[in-house]
Amino acid sequence: MSKKIIFSGMRPTGSLHIGHLSVVQNWAARQDEYECYYAVVDWHALTTGFEDKIPLRELARSITLDWLSVGLDPEKCSIFVQSAVKEHAELHLLFSMFTPLSWLERVPTYKDQLQQLGRDGKDLRMYGFLGYPLLQAADILAYRAEAVPVGEDQLPHIEFCREVARRFNHLYGPLFPEPQALVGKTPLLPGVDGRKMSKSYNNSIAITASPAEIAAQTRQMVTDPARVRKDDPGHPEVCVAHKFHKIYSADRITELEADCRAGRVGCAVCKKELAAAIDRVLAPYRERRAYWEEGDRVERVLAAGQEKARAAAAETLRATRAAIGL
């Protein structure tokens, strides 16, 4: 029996930090079970960044290197750049013919972001931005993917994709599956200062961080303000370091929590242990990165992935055109 297909994508917005890690680990975890297509969605980056002169080519290469470092295996999955597979654009165009505007206008992320970015002085009343979820649906359905590993924030987009598939099938006959979201188990991590983790807030830990950089960022983590002296009892529920420990020191979490509450371990010692635990996860990524960084290995991965993606998407488009009567 042939494997089920999954598709997922990420915008090339800069180097990966450990806040993105759970998504890419979720991708890597599916490699053996599914036939995987993973794309750097550079067109999507333009929907909000069209005037930012984003160095898209460089960023596509560097995010691919990040994915390979985390463990995506190009023998098992096709890794490619969205804009290299024009079928996504054709499918988006065809879908646009029968997608009601009202469906796009009511996607929750649309109104939220319009308002949010509007407050920052950015006018996003653009055709491409409104169509963002439809392009995303075309990405997924170009491979007739049955599942999409994503973060929780993407659930409205996956639901929208299912509606588009359903409408196509209703109009032209059954061709597309209604894909399921595969949400990872790991919760989203905050930045070291407790805000959303983002490179621009300078509160993130890059996946390429050295042991010294990991230690420095860990020291910045906001802890329980009520703990003045190291033997004061702590409240792990308000501590950023504790949120990280839950993921990076899962096997020791009960003791760590008890020691904190009892005031048996000070924050400095607790953070040292955390920095070491984070480094144990990132060290193998640094090693793998050294391999992939050499010569034109990344370019070769993208070229091979693009070829496989094109063949699969071209097949879907042949069937789509035929169903519509083109």
Residue ranges in contact with ligand TRP by CB under 6 A: 7-11, 41, 44, 136, 139-140, 148, 150, 154, 157
Closest approach, Cβ 193 to ligand TRP, in A, equals 23
The Cα–Cα gap between 296 and 280 comes to: 28
> Whole-number minimum distance, CB 271 to ligand TRP, in Å?
30
Nearer to ligand TRP, 8 or 69 (CB): 8
HSE-CB of 288 using CA atoms within 13 angstroms: 17
Q: Which CB, 33 or 231, lies closer to ligand TRP? A: 33
Q: How far apart are the C-alpha atoms of 9 and 20, rounded to whole Å? A: 12
Question: Smaller CB distance to ligand TRP: residue 149 or 191?
Answer: 149
Q: How far is the CB of 71 from ligand TRP (least distance, A)?
A: 19
- Closer Cβ to ligand TRP, 214 or 312, answer by number: 312
Minimum Å distance from CB 43 to ligand TRP?
A: 9
Query: Rounded to 5 degrees, what are φ and ψ at 51?
Result: -110, 10
**By C-beta, is 15 or 220 nearer to ligand TRP?**
15
According to DSSP H, which parts of the chain are helical? Answer: 21-28, 42-49, 56-70, 87-96, 101-105, 108-119, 127-130, 132-141, 155-172, 211-219, 240-248, 253-261, 267-293, 297-324
Residue number with the smallest Cβ distance to ligand TRP:
9
CB of 150 to ligand TRP, least distance (A): 5
Q: How far apart are CB 92 and ligand TRP at their closest, in Å?
A: 11
d(CA 167, CA 173): 9
Give the DSSP letter of residue 204: -
Of 140 and 277, CB closest to ligand TRP: 140
Q: What kind and span of H or E run contains 36?
A: strand 35-40
Q: How far is the CB of 224 from ligand TRP (least distance, A)?
A: 33
- Find tokens 């949400």 and name the residue: 183
Q: Which of 212, 216, 207 lies closest to 282, judged by CA?
A: 207
Q: Specify whether the CB–CB gap between 197 and 158 falls below 8 A.
A: no
**Residue nearer to ligand TRP on the CB measure, 8 or 320:** 8
